[in-house]
A = this chain, B = another copy of it.
Amino acid sequence: MVNREYLAMLGNKSVIRELSEYANARGKEIGYENVFDFSLGNPSVPAPDSYRDISVRLLQEEEPLNLHGYNPTMGDPRVKQKVAESLNNRFGMSYTAEHIFPTAGAAGAIAHALRCVTEPDEEVMVFAPYFSEYGAYIRGARASIKVVPIKADDFQINFEAAEAVFNEKTAAVLINTPNNPSGAVYTEETLRRLAQVLTEKSAQYGHTIFLISDEPYREIVFDGKKQAYPAKFYPHTLTCYSFSKSLSVPGERVGYVAVSPDCEQADKMVAMMGQISRGLGHNCPSSLPMLAAAYCLEDTADLAVYETNMNLLYDTFKELGFTVPRPGGTFYIMPKALEDDAVAFCKKALKYDLVFVPGNGFEAPGFFRVAYCVNTEKVERSLSAIRRFVEAEYPNR
C-alpha cells in the first residue's frame, strides 16, 4: 500500500498552479506576451554577472575533489564564515560561523528551524496574509498552524487578534517580512512590539516562544529604505534566508538559517539541524551554487525593476478606486477586490487576460495578489487591460 496521506494530497490542486497553467494554455492561443500573467512569484531579472563569473572561476580553478566533495554535516566552513561576517557588518549582529546552517533555500531553512523549536502537536503562529506553503512546512514538522487574521489597513501585525491565539502550546511564531503576498515591510515599531509580546507570553507560559523569521525578500525594499532586521529586536530568533530573490537563482536552492547568538540553546541549534538533516535526506545545499552565492553576498540582481512595476500598478489601482496598501517591498501588491468574492473577481479578470490570484489561499479573503515580477513593458501594457476590466465589470464601483 502506498501512503494514504500523500495519496490524498494529490486531489488538492494549488490555485496558484491552476491559474498559472491556465495562463500558459491561454498563452498558446494568443501568444504568452498577451497574457498578463501575474500569478507566479518567479524572479524576472537575470542573476548578476558576478554569480556566473564566480561559478565559472570555481569550476575552472578549484580542485574538483574540494569543489564537489561532501560538505561537513553542519555546512561548508567558508560559507558559514562569510555569511556570519556579512550579517554582522550589515545588521550589527555578532554571529560566528557556528551560528550559520547552510540550507537548500528558504524551504530547507524553515524545515530545519521548525523541527528545532517545536515538539509534535505544538503550535506555530503565522500572521495572515501568509505564504501558502507555510501550512505544508508546519504540518511536515508535525506541528499545527494557527493563523492570526489580517490587519487590513496596512498588513502589519494584528496584535489584538493575536492575543486570542497565543496559548501554552505556542512554540514559535513564523513571520515573513518583506511579506509575500502583501508586500508589507514590518516596521521597527511592529518588530519591537512583537518582541515585547513574545517576551511577555514566554514568561506567562514558562517557556521560550521562538521567532522564525523568513526573509527571502530582504533585499527588495522600496523608496530607498531598508528592512529592519527582526533578530535585532528579539534574541530567540532563527533567521531563514534564501538567495532565490536577491540573486535570482531560485532553482539553485541556496540559503541558510542564522541562529541568534543570544537565542536559547544557540550553541546547540546548528548541531541539532545537522541531526534533523539526516532524517530529511537534506545533507547540505549543493556545493558549487552555495559557494558561489557566498562569494556574492553583497551583490544582487538588478532589483530596481520591481519598484518601477510596483509604482505603475499602485498608481493605476489607486486611480481606479481600489483600496490598496502601498507595498514597501517584494514583487507583490495586494489590493482589495471590487466585490466581496475575490474568486469571482479574479475569474472575471481572466476575460481580460489578467491573471490575479485570489487572497483566499493566503487567508486574506476579499483581496487578490498581483505578482509583478514581469517585464515593465508588459506591466505597462497591462494597465489598459486593468482599466478596461474595471470599467466594464464594475462601472458603479
Chain A positions within 8 Å of B, measured between CB atoms, are 1-4, 6-7, 9-10, 17, 42-47, 52, 55-56, 59-60, 63-65, 67-71, 73, 103-105, 107-112, 115-119, 133, 136-137, 139-141, 171, 207-208, 248-254, 264-265, 268-269, 271-272, 275-276, 278-289
**Complex Cα–Cα for A268 and B139 (A):** 21
A281 B117 Cβ-Cβ under 8 A: no
Does A278 contact B52, Cβ atoms closer than 8 Å? no
Q: Which residues of B contact A64 (CB under 8 A)?
A: 46-47, 52, 248
**Distance between A254 CB and nearest chain B CB, rounded to angstroms:** 7
CB neighbours of A281 from chain B (8 A): 103-105, 107-112, 137, 140, 280, 282
- Asked if B286 and A251 sit within 8 Å, CB to CB, the answer is yes
Determine if B42 and A275 form an interchain contact, defined as CB atoms under 8 angstroms apart. no
With A and B bound together, what is the CA distance between A105 and B253 in angstroms?
14
How near does chain B come to A253, taking the closest CB pair, in angstroms?
5
A60 CB to nearest chain B CB (Å): 7
Instruction: Please indicate the chain B residues that have their CB under 8 angstroms from the CB of A276 in the complex.
Output: 6
Q: Determine how close the nearest CB of chain B comes to the CB of A295; give it in whole angstroms.
A: 14
| Contact, CB under 8 Å: A286 / B252 | yes
Nearest CB in chain B to that of A4: its residue: B119
A249 CA / B288 CA spacing, docked (Å): 10
**A1 and B250: CB pair below 8 A?**
no
Contact, CB under 8 Å: A251 / B10:
no
Q: Which of B70, B137, B287 is A278 in contact with, Cβ under 8 Å?
A: B137
Of B1, B67, B109, B208, which one neighbours A119 at CB under 8 angstroms? B1
Q: How far apart are A38's CB and chain B's nearest CB, in angstroms?
A: 16
Return A141 CB to nearest CB of chain B, in Å. 8
Known A2-B272, A104-B281, A105-B283; contact A68-B248, beta-carbon cutoff 8 A: yes
Question: Known contacts being A275-B10, A289-B288, is A268 close to B140, with CB within 8 Å?
Answer: no
